[in-house]
Structures are given as C-alpha cells and as structure tokens.
Amino acid sequence: KEKWPKGDEKVWRTALRGLDTDVPSITKSVVNHVQTSLARQAYNLDNLGAYQAAALSVRDNLILNWNDTQMHYTRKAPKRAYYLSLEFLMGRTLDNALLNLGLKDKYQEGVHQLGFNLEDILEQERDAALGNGGLGRLAACYLDSSASQELPVWGYGLRYKYGIFQQLIGPDGSQLEAPDPWLQQGDNPWELPRLDVTYEVRFYGHAERLDGMKAIWSGGQEVVAMAYDTMIPGYDTKSTNNLRLWESKPKRGFDLQSFNAGDYERAVESSNSAEAITSVLYPNDHTTFGKELRLKQQYFWTAASLADIMRRFKNLGKPITEFPDYVAIQLNDTHPTLAIPELMRIFIDEEDVPWDAAWQLVTNTFFFTNHTVLPEALEKWPVPLMQSLLPRHMQIIFDIHYLHVAVEKKFPGDRDKFARMSLIEEGYPQQVRMANLACIGSRKVNGVAELHSELVRTTIMKDFVDYYGISKFANVTNGITPRRWLDQCNPGLSKLISETLKLPKAAFLKDLFKLEGLLKFVDDPIFQKKWAAIKQSNKERLAHYVETTLGLKINTHAMFDVQIKRLHEYKRQTLNIMGVIHRYLTLKDMTPEQRKTVNPKVVFFAGKAAPGYYIAKLTIRLIVNAARIINSDPETKDILQLYFLPDYSVSLAEVLIPASDISQHISTAGTEASGTSNMKFCLNGGLLVGTVDGANIEIAEEVGENNVFFFGHLTPAVEDLRYQHMYHAVPIEQKCPPLARVLNEVSAGRFGDGSVYEPLLNTIRQHDYYLLTEDFDSYIQALQLVDEAYQDRTEWIKKSIRTSAKMGKFSSDRAIQDYAQEYWNIESTKPE
C-alpha cells in the first residue's frame, strides 16, 4: 500500500469526497461562484453572470473527473494516442458538459430556483470557433468519442486569440469580415492555463552538421509555448480527456535591452512578433498561400506538442526504442507534417539515436489522414523559406529525400514516377511537398470516405501505393457524435426515440445502431404523428430564431430546404442558387391558379467564404440580392422564400439541422471527400438531395437509394467532361437552355446590377470546371422528385424515420474504434 503523501490521511479523505450533485448542492455551488469567483450578488446578476457562475460550477465537476482520469493514465501508463489538428471547432461547451455529466435536469431545476432559465443561460456562451469547417468539427467529434469510449487520447492544437472571422452582410449584400475575439467574454471557464507547462521553440538560426547525421541548431529566435488545457468529458463516464492548446509568448517578456536603450517601439515589436504566432486562425479552407506566419504556426505547434509528448514518454523511464509502443500520433491533414522531421531531430540530435533507427521509430509512430484531393489544397512550402525558418528541418527533409531516392531505385527507368514521388518539387523556387512527406513518414494513410480513399489510392497517392503496397492505404469513413448532433440539438427527438424503444437515452447514444429498432415503428401512425410534430416544432424554433435575430417572418408550413457549408465552387452553392432562380422564374410563368397548387418552400443558405475568395463572395452577394427580390414579390412570396443566414457557426447548425426537411450536398462528383453535415441531417430525420459523392454514397447504402435523391454525373465521367469543355466547348444556350435563361436574367439585372455578377457567371459560361451545365437538368429533375415526394406526407415521414434509423454507421464512436484498433493500437481504460 502506498504511503499517504502528506498530512492526516483521514482529513484529506473526508475533504476529497468530491462534489454532491443534488439540486441544493448545485444551487449552493452556483451561488458560491456568484459571490466569490465573480464577486457579484443576486440583485445585479444578469444572464451572462448566471452563465458564468453555472459554467464555473459545472467546471468544478469536470476538473475532478479530469484529475482522476489523468492520474489514472499516469499510473497505468497505457499506450496513448495524440490527435494533432490545427483546428478544433468545438462550439459551445456548457450544454454538452451538462449532458455528458448527466446533470442537465438538475441544473435546469437549480437555476430555475435561482430565478433563471437554463436555455437563456446557455445562449450566453460564445462559440469556440477555432476551425474553418468539416476538418475542425471532425476533430471535435473525435475528442468527444474518444473520451466517451474511455480511450487515452489527447488533442493538441493552437489557442488562437481570434477564431474564424465573424461574417456580416453589407448593404450591397456582400460578405464583410470582423474579428472574433472569443476570449473577451471574461475568463474562459473551460480552459486551465498551465503556467508551468512551457517549452521554448526556436526559429531561424543555423544548423551545423557534426560527424555523421547529427547536427546542432542554434541562434535565431526563441519563443515560448504555454499550455492551456480544455477538459473533454466523456458521455456517461467519469473519463475526461484533455485538449491541450498552445499560446505563444515572448521569451523574456519585453526585450529589456532595447527597452533600456529607449527603443520602446522595438521592444514592443519583439513581443508582438512572438504573440502574433497564435493570434489568428487562417480562414482559408482548401487553398494554401505559403505565408511565413502559417508555417511558423505549424512548427510552433508541432514542436511544443512533441516536446510535451516526449517529456511524458520519458517520465515512464522506458528505453527510447519503445517510443512507438507508447505513442501514436494522428496527423489531421498535412498541417502537422513538420512533426515528422521534428521527431527525427529530437531522436538524432537530442537522443543520440542513429538515423536508420530513428526513421524506423518515426514511421511507426505517425498516421496520416488526407481530407481532400483538390490540387489547390495540397500543401507545399518553398525550400528557401524552410531553409531560413527551419534550417535543421530542411536538412532532415533532404536526408529523408535522398534515402527515399535511393530506395526508389527499385523502379528503374520511370523518371516521371520518380519526379511525382519526390519530396521536392523542382521549380523556382523548389518546394517541399507535405503530402508526400506525410505519406512516407507514416505507418498508414487514410481517406475519410470509401470513394475518397479510393481516389487517394488511384490519384494523389497512386505511385506510393505501387511502391508500398495497398495495405498502407486504407479508409476510415468519418462520423459525428450523436451526443451533440442528436441529444443536444434535438432533445425532443432523443426523448421520443427513448420512449419508443423503451431504452434509456444512453443506450442508443452510446450504440447508435440501436436506432434500427425504430424500423418496427415506421408504419405506426401514432409514432409517425409524433415524429412529424417534432420536426414541426424544430421548424418553429428556427423560425423564432430568424425572427428574433433578423426580423424576418418564415412560413413554417413550407418545406425547409437547407444548404449550410463553407462557400466553395466545388460545393456548388451556385448550382443551388441558379436552381432557386429557375424555380422563381417558373413560378412567375404560372397563372395564379397554377400557383395555388404549388407546395410552399423555404430555402436556407449559410456559410462563410474565405476572405480572399472572390467568386465565392460573389455567390453570397447573388444569394442575398436574389432573396431581397424573391421574398418581396407578392406573386410568389407565399410559395418561395430564400434566406441567407449570416455568420454560420456550430450553434447555428444546431438550430438549422433539426429543422430541415431536405438538405443539399451537391458537389461535383469526386470533389467532396466525405461531408459530415449530410450525416447530421439524416440523423435528425432530414432527407438528402445530392450527388454520388463522398459519404452520400455510404449513406445511401445504409438507408436505401430510394430514400436519397441522387442526381448528376458520376466521378469517372468528370474528367472526360472537363476535357470536352476545354477542347470542344458547346455554348450554354445549346447545352442547357434553362440554365442559360437563368444566367441571362441575372446578367440583365433582375437581382440588381448584373455586371457585378459577370465574373461568377463566366465561370459557368466559360470553362465550367465544376460542371454546372452538365448537372443542371438532372438537378432540377431531382428537386421535382423531392416536391412530389413531399406531397405524400405520410410516405415522406416514413422515409425520414427509415433514414434516421439507419445512421448507426455514422457515429464517430465507430470511426474512433476503427482508428483505435486498426491504427493506434490503444485500449479503453478508466479510473474506478
């Protein structure tokens, strides 16, 4: 038996009893925080104060669980996995923490007794929006699933001072960007600053080769990385994992030397330049710009994370050769690829491991997930930039390159293949290809849905597949956490499912395949009615939100059609808006009698465009201005409404998704790696209209093709069609007259000055790279089928139930189990 470390064990043990979670204890704890932590009193306590006090009280519970879990990991020393992601799109925490802790009802009652409404309190919290879109939200779902399944997984990322920009819509309908100072709400109750967990990170300087492969890297600039820990509670378990985010700080505060010399400006500048590293999230998804600060972010984060991982490993007292037995690192896209040369540097220069042995260890530690095959998203860094910022890493990358070249001699003669597989792209300047480095430095490479993984194997990684064999290249289809994306965002549905299946919520929230039990009730008219009533109340909740935030009145008896995602040409919001305009023109052509037979429809868009993405921003402008005309046209406004909801966020998604009847996932075939909102809509009983792309395909496999509205050309046709467009272009008037008409109306100024939209219209008229002219007709037909299907409401409800019932596969629990077993080789373990 271990000796009690300090003082009187009995006194400690009584004090350590933990927190009581009956309602009186909860109100006491909240009020304590009001009085002490916030130094406020009842008479001046507003909703924000109540939120802060409630959050601090919930946080107390999280911290205790977090401590127990981390202590348990330290004692048990299991193999751990680390998820390195530049983005974690967490959204709000309080509601999720209450649900995962099983304390929501009690806090509801407690704050009610204190004169507050829990729903209003929850609304006070700002989203933690440290991500762009799918990739960042996936990371957040994976943390939830790891903790819920009691897996020893930590996330590592950056603590940006400013998250994804706030989107405003200007008077002319265009997107404007404002900063997102998410931390300025007062102390963030969900993070624990770790003043004692700091590392120094070097930039620039010179690397001097010693004998053999070792080198010394010195000089340059050093900045400090300081840890902030965010508690990640598992659902229905005490297990609480950690998300460690790094903040950059100047090494010695102000540079005193220049300060003393009276050069105040320079002193402040040096502190600014260190702080700049974690100041802002880059708002570009799917494009790279080669900005030095971005490369600094990537190195700063990977260096701090690896130093931390290495320190934890060394505390185990194991020989360095056992590193991959205790550590698995997942690279979320190529953004953390510098971790590969950085771990080589640590092994070789600091731990005296010989080069070949170090490479062996490194390639047994890393796993790499690719999230896109779009060529403009493949990261490359100029060699000169790398040489100046990270001279030692550039040496190591060249060493890996030469080793790689030597082994590739297995393929004599094929010089093209050689050039494609090279880590270095020739040109002025030369560039380092991060995907190639991530591939050769990792044990396994995966895509995020079946089709995407197949495209990874046959296109961007084809040569590597020939070289390494197929088994290194696998698939893990993405998933979503049913805690947030069913129970939290749609409590009514969650409750109905629980009552119908006669199961506690935890049963299906932890094993989503249990939803299949709903299939027995598909034909039960009472159940159908309840199911439909929940959809209706979610539509009213959304309408209420739109009315209170935007002052617009929505027809909740209409079909709700939703497309919410980042604005991008490949996602084809343009196809959707052209479809809406086509519908509008068709309605205008009808007689008033004919219009009376039309089922009303409300179309919602939301999503941000990268600030420098001109065409995507024009698309927003067109949607907003078309909405102004369409919504005010007395002939059609009762049967067609169009809304662009500004500032899309996780929290807005939580209101939109449960309210949707149909959602659009209409990327050009072969371009959307997976998509994850498609899964969220289906889980909430919404149907899909989509192309045969990404995870749409697997969703249709699960729910049956008759429950998905597919349209458009298939992936294998895309390349040929693009070729035809390049070399045998047919004018749009011939190829697709209905679309030509829509473009002409826009051009003619029907939705405001047409000349503004010419560059957008020309992307369709000229190369039409994303093949709108090829898919428009079948898209309109698919929407027609949607309208017809919606007429038969009972049949529609059945489709909705069947869809939701078959979402088991898309739980992120399944995805994380796959990573844990097939990649990381880690096991569940939990504190008693």
Active site residues: 371, 565-566, 571, 676, 680
Q: How far is the CB of 149 from ligand T68 (least distance, A)?
A: 20
- 3-class SS string, 221-270: EEEEEEEEEEEEECCCCCCEEEEEEEEEEEECECCHHHHHCCCHHHHHHH
Amino acid at 571: K
Query: Contact with ligand T68 (CB under 6 A): which of 515, 575, 673, 801?
Result: 673
Closer to ligand T68 by CB, 26 or 460: give it: 460
CB 675 within 8 A of CB 665: yes
Residue 463 and residue 417: Cα distance in Å, rounded?
7
Asked whether position 538 contacts ligand T68 by CB under 6 A, the answer is no
String of b and e for 618-640 (b: at least 16 CB within 10 Å)?
Answer: bbbbbbbbbbeebbeeeebeebb
In 495-592, at which residue ranges do the beta strands (DSSP E only) sit?
559-564
Which residue is nearest to ligand T68, using beta carbons? Answer: 134
Nearer to ligand T68, 215 or 295 (CB): 295
Site for ligand T68 in 478-537 (CB under 6 A): 478
**Residue 659: CB minimum distance to ligand T68, A:** 22
Looking at beta carbons only, is 286 or 601 nearer to ligand T68? 286
Q: Which is nearer to ligand T68, 51 or 282 (CB)?
A: 282
Beta-strand relationship, 166-169 and 175-178 = antiparallel
* Rounded least distance, CB 493 to ligand T68, Å: 23
Of the candidate spans 216-224, 371-379, 639-647, 701-709, the one that interacts with ligand T68 by CB under 6 A turns out to be 371-379
**Smallest distance, ligand T68 to C-beta of residue 694, A:** 6
State the SS3 of 753-778.
Answer: CHHHHHHHHHHHHCCCCCCHHHHHHH
Residues between 107 and 136 with contacts to ligand T68, criterion CB under 6 A: 132-135
Which residues lie below 8 Å from residue 568, measured CB to CB, with a gap of 6+? 285, 286, 613, 616
Size of the site for ligand T68 (CB under 6 A): 18
φ, ψ of residue 289 to 5 degrees: the values are -120, -5
What is the Cα–Cα distance from 796 to 191, expressed in whole angstroms? 45
| 107 vs 810 by CB, closer to ligand T68 | 810
Query: Per CB under 6 A, which region of 184-192, 301-309, 670-678, 767-775 contacts ligand T68?
Result: 670-678
- Closest approach, Cβ 695 to ligand T68, in A, equals 7
* Residue number, 131 or 391, with CB nearest to ligand T68: 131
- Rounded Cα distance, 87 and 96, in Å: 19
**285 binds ligand T68, rule: CB under 6 A:** yes
CA distances from 128 to 243, 281, 647 (A): 13, 12, 14
Q: Which stretch binds ligand T68 (CB under 6 A): 21-29, 358-366, 432-440, 666-674?
A: 666-674
Given a contact cutoff of 8 angstroms between Cβ atoms, the answer to whether 263 and 300 are in contact is: no
Q: How far apart are CA 305 and CA 225, in angstroms?
A: 9
Closer by beta carbon to ligand T68, 80 or else 371? 371
Letters for 690-709 (x = contact with ligand T68 by CB under 6 A, - = none) are ----x---------------
Pair 44, 25: CB distance under 8 Å? no
**At closest approach, how far in Å is the CB of 569 from ligand T68?**
13
**Span near ligand T68 by CB under 6 A; candidates 174-182, 220-228, 249-257, 370-378:** 370-378
- Tell me how far apart the alpha carbons of residues 102 and 96 are, in angstroms, rounded to a whole number: 10
Minimum distance from CB of 604 to ligand T68 (Å)? 20
**∠ at Cα 54 (27, 101), nearest 5°?**
90
**What residues numbered 376-435 form the site for ligand T68, per CB under 6 A?**
377
Q: In angstroms, rounded to a whole number, what is the distance separating the alpha carbons of residues 52 and 412?
A: 66
H-state helical runs in 316-390:
323-326, 339-345, 355-363, 383-389
Of the candidates 580, 621, 591, the one whose C-alpha atom is nearest the C-alpha of residue 757 is: 621
- Show contacts with ligand T68 in window 674-693 (CB under 6 A): 674-676
Residue of 90, 437, 448, 559 interacting with ligand T68 (CB under 6 A): 448
Task: Give the whole-angstrom CA distance, residue 531 versus residue 515.
Answer: 14
Contact status: 336 vs ligand T68 (CB under 6 A)? no
Report, in Å, the least distance between residue 773 CB and ligand T68: 24
Smallest separation (angstroms) from ligand T68 to the CB of 518: 26
Residue numbers at the binding site for ligand T68 (CB under 6 A)? 132-135, 138, 285-286, 371-372, 377, 448, 478, 672-676, 694
